[in-house]
Amino acid sequence: MLIRVEHGTSYEYSEPLLATTQYLRMTPLSGGTQAVESWVLTCPGASMTQWQDQYGNVCHTLTLPKPVDNLDIKVCGLVRTRDTNGVVGTASSELPSMLYLRETPYTVVTGPIRDFARRFSVEPKEDLIKTLHEIMLAVADKVSYSPGETHVHTTGTEALEQGRGVCQDQAHVFCAVCRVLGVPARYVSGYLSHGFGNEAHAASHAWAEAFVDSLGWVGFDPTNRACPNESYIRTAVGLDYAEASPVRGVRAGGGLETMTVKVSFPSQQQTQ
């Protein structure tokens, strides 16, 4: 599938924004599931420096040479994707999978996480894919997709206890449960151009990947109860949202900030 992405993030400030440093992870890499044909990231009035983080993500550091009243970060890109039944594989230069067993503030292992994980077994190993699907569906059942019920700092445990959340929360719960069971898991951010019939999810999106010895990394999307297909574009991976979020940073001044995000996928084309 050939997917055109147009993504705009606008910030309006009630007072002049004196300084800011923002870390952007909004640029996909070509790989087994996607080929980036073009991708342009801009922010008028700001300076951007490209670099690569420890996970291999393409990152940009955004800074301001002078105070401004607004920021407009825009992405325009074209990516050709293919359906691999969720299998991403393993890149040639990649961190050891066991690193993704680490806990983070978002995925800390608590009593509720351990209790939830007890219903699953990763033995025998040949049934691991089946178990991962069961975890994905159980997370979807336990943490219903409910926008507005959580916030950007909600942890996996909090979402699990609340029983509601969004894709970010469901991905954190999935990762935490996998790690309890000894299965490396990581957080993925990107885009979903079709929502499996649920248009509420057809925009910037988050899901998870688990490591399977015979396959490498395999994607699981609790929000849509499915493995990622050709409708997905991967932009960044990390241990959790803090390490793979599209935009993250600090600022000085600006007063009250109002953010507006718009994502569209014009002129979708099926590969011939």
Pair 161, 222 in one domain: yes
φ and ψ at residue 168, rounded to 5 degrees: -60, -45
Question: Does residue 169 lie in a domain region?
Answer: yes
Question: Does residue 271 lie in a domain region?
Answer: no
Per-residue model confidence as pLDDT tens digits over 239-272: 999 999 999 999 999 999 999 999 999 865 544 3
Per-residue model confidence as pLDDT tens digits over 50-93: 999 999 999 999 999 999 999 999 999 999 999 999 999 998 88
Question: Does residue 272 lie in a domain region?
Answer: no
Total domains in the chain come to 2
Cα separation, 97 vs 95, whole angstroms: 6
Assigned token pair, 64: 């301001």
Cα separation, 182 vs 163, whole angstroms: 24
Q: What is the pLDDT of residue 123?
A: 82
Pair 57, 128 in one domain: no
Question: Does residue 270 lie in a domain region?
Answer: no
Cα separation, 9 vs 174, whole angstroms: 28
What predicted TM-score, i.e. pTM, was given to this entire model?
Answer: 0.93
The answer to whether 28 and 77 are in contact (CB under 8 A) is yes
CATH number at residue 232: 3.10.620.30
φ and ψ at residue 47, rounded to 5 degrees: -105, 140
Pair 113, 8 in one domain: no
Q: What is the pLDDT of residue 195?
A: 52
Query: Percentage of the chain surpassing pLDDT 70?
Result: 94
Pair 73, 163 in one domain: no
Question: Does residue 208 lie in a domain region?
Answer: yes
Pair 111, 196 in one domain: yes
Cα separation, 252 vs 20, whole angstroms: 6
User: What's the CA dihedral at 224, 229, 230, 235 to 10 degrees?
Assistant: 80
Per-residue model confidence as pLDDT tens digits over 82-118: 999 999 999 888 899 999 999 999 999 999 999 999 9
Query: Percentage of the chain surpassing pLDDT 90?
Result: 88
Distances (CA, A) of 118 to 113, 177, 209: 9, 9, 20
CATH number at residue 53: 2.60.40.2250
Pair 139, 237 in one domain: yes
Distances (CA, A) of 259 to 48, 50, 75, 253: 20, 24, 16, 15
Question: Does residue 63 lie in a domain region?
Answer: yes
Q: Would the pLDDT of 19 be above 80?
A: yes
Pair 93, 227 in one domain: yes
Pair 253, 128 in one domain: no
Question: Does residue 256 lie in a domain region?
Answer: yes
**Region label for 170, one of left (φ > 0), alpha (ψ between -120 and 50) or beta (otherwise):** alpha
Pair 72, 124 in one domain: no
Question: Does residue 269 lie in a domain region?
Answer: no
Pair 112, 74 in one domain: no
Pair 95, 212 in one domain: yes
Domain boundaries, position 57:
2-81+247-264
Pair 20, 154 in one domain: no
Instruction: Look at strands 68-81 and 34-42 and give their pairing.
Output: antiparallel
- Largest Cα span, the chain: 59
Cα separation, 157 vs 20, whole angstroms: 31
